[in-house]
Structure 1
Amino acid sequence: MTLELRDLLAPVRHVLWDLDGPICRLFAGHPASEVARELVRELERFGLDGLLSEKERVDPDPQTVLLLVAQRHGDSALMARLDQWLTEQELRAVPRAMPTPYADPLIRTWSALGARFAITTNNSARAAAAYVESRQLTGCFPHIFGRTENLAQMKPDPHCLSLALASLDARPSQALMLGDAGTDYQAALALGVPFLGYARNQQKRDLLVAAGVDPAHMVGSLEQLLRLLKSAV
């Protein structure tokens, strides 16, 4: 696996980071499952909970719930209200977010070695900016692209990745998407951007494999990447 990872990382000059997973657990102290339940209750207030199946109503990911509603309901004003509501929840989560182990030193080391970064996330760009500021990493992430009011542009749509590549003046072949979800992989695949999966547990790993990610292009800890970078210096 180390040789596979070395080959994957060798041409990388630009890294597109997902936020929630590879950089931090955003909802570590403000559980995403609770936020998702609150979002469903918001939908009930508007009489829109019927847009979701019983299984979807208990999905623990609020972004998934929001995307499903956006795909099935055309009221842009309402979608903007729901997006704003979720943004407020994400901003509330930032002070209690938990850094992903080894993420901070990996970010600083990779940046010091010349890699240029962007965040490409389905979270709010405001929340992403607030988090990296809290970790004193703002200088490493001059480009942050998050969820827009056009919720159809959330990953797996490659919209935010396209913006990141353009802002970095990066060729897809010299970029890398670092994510922990099938939607990250699908967005990268659409643009021909190589993908590295971060799977902190077996469930995450299984979901990435099911999405089509090569198991040799996954890590269970960012320490593996940090060691590879340091060994190449």
Structure 2
Amino acid sequence: MATESENQAEGLADLIRSARVVLWDFDGPICRLFAGHSAESVADGLVEWLASRGLRGLVTETERDSLDPHLVLRAVDRRHPGSDLVAELEERLTKEELRAAATAMPTAYADILIQTWRARGVRMAVTTNNSPRVVRAYLDDRGLTPCFAPHIYGRTKDLHRLKPDPHCLNRALNAMGAAPAAALMIGDSPTDFEAAESAGVPFLGYARNARKAKLLTEAGASCVVGSLRPLLEILRH
């Protein structure tokens, strides 16, 4: 009788082998975007910018305490959708993300895994809540853009369609002419899992620590890895 770990390994192998299209979240599976320029400081900066304009009340105490710049942006958009204020706040966030990209830390094994998968004929896309300008800047710097281009689907002006909405996943699938069941989403957050589930795409969770693994499993993810190395080994062997 197979052990639980053997069953998990076989489940992972099945996910990898059946994927004809891989949809990557950006911040987490591909790199740690805010490794040298913390997301918490970016969120604080957005709140301070709002406060300097007498608009601190647009975000609740809970939203401020989240230290999540995307949550701050979405909170303002819910209260003033499509406004110039939201557009300016989003541009400020994009500039901070571009600064962070210069010191982003590549996720271990991500570069070689992406290149190996692409060499096997698997098509790939980035589906992220980050700005597509930021993704392109990072991929250009790592020489990885040809593995994805033109399939980079990031934050748009329709902020209500950020993940967990499956909008960016559906854009990728439609552009690539891929069936959801033939794809695989790699993400590191519950919102990634929820978006994949809504789009009907199999999901593989990447968790760099126990806290992230717990969040993914509690959200319902059944396959979570702490390293991308097992994926590379499956592709190689």
TM norm structure 2: 0.93
Residue 155 of structure 1 is matched in structure 2 by 163
Quote the Cα distance in structure 2 between the aligned partners of 1:19 and 1:202: 20
- For structure 1, which segment, 141-150 or 71-80, has the greater mean C-alpha deviation from structure 2 after superposition? 71-80
Q: How many residues align?
A: 229
Cα deviations by residue, 1:192-212 (Å, 9 ceiling, x for unpaired): 001100011011011112212
Cα deviation for residue 47 of structure 1 reads: 3.0
Amino acid at match of 2:26: L
CA contact under 8 A between 1:37 and 1:58: conserved in structure 2?
no
Provide the rounded CA distance (Å) in 1 between the counterparts of 2:80 and 2:214.
31
Q: Residues 217 and 224 of structure 2 are in contact (CA less than 8 Å); yes or no, is this contact kept in structure 1?
A: no
- The amino acid of 1:82's aligned partner reads L
Deviation per CA, 1:174-230: give whole Å up to 9, x if none. 00110001111111111100110001101101111221211xx11100011111111
* One-letter amino acid of the counterpart of residue 126, structure 2: I
- Structure 2 unpaired stretches of 5+: 1-7
Kept after mapping to 1: 8 A contact 2:117/2:235: yes
Give the Cα separation in 2 of the matches to 1:19 and 1:192.
20
- One-letter amino acid of the counterpart of residue 168, structure 1: M
Kept in 2, the 8 Å contact 1:161–1:188? The answer is yes
Counterpart residue number, 1:224: 230
Q: Offset of 1:75 from its aligned partner?
A: 4.9
Percent identity, please: 55
Q: Which residue of 2 aligns with 1:104?
A: 111
Q: Say which is worse superposed, 217-226 or 49-58, in terms of deviation.
A: 49-58
91-100 vs 49-58, which moves further: 49-58
* Structure 1 ranges of 4+ moved more than 4 A: none
Structure 1 unaligned segments of length 5 or more: list them: none
- Alpha-carbon deviation of 1:23? 0.2
Report 1:14-163 matches (<5 A). 14-142=21-149, 143-163=151-171
Task: Give the TM-score normalised by structure 1.
Answer: 0.95
The SS at the match of 1:96 is coil
Structure 1 residue aligned with 2:3: none
* DSSP 3-state at the match of 1:10: helix
| Paired AA for residue 87 in structure 2 | A
Find out whether 1:196 has 2:204 as its counterpart: yes
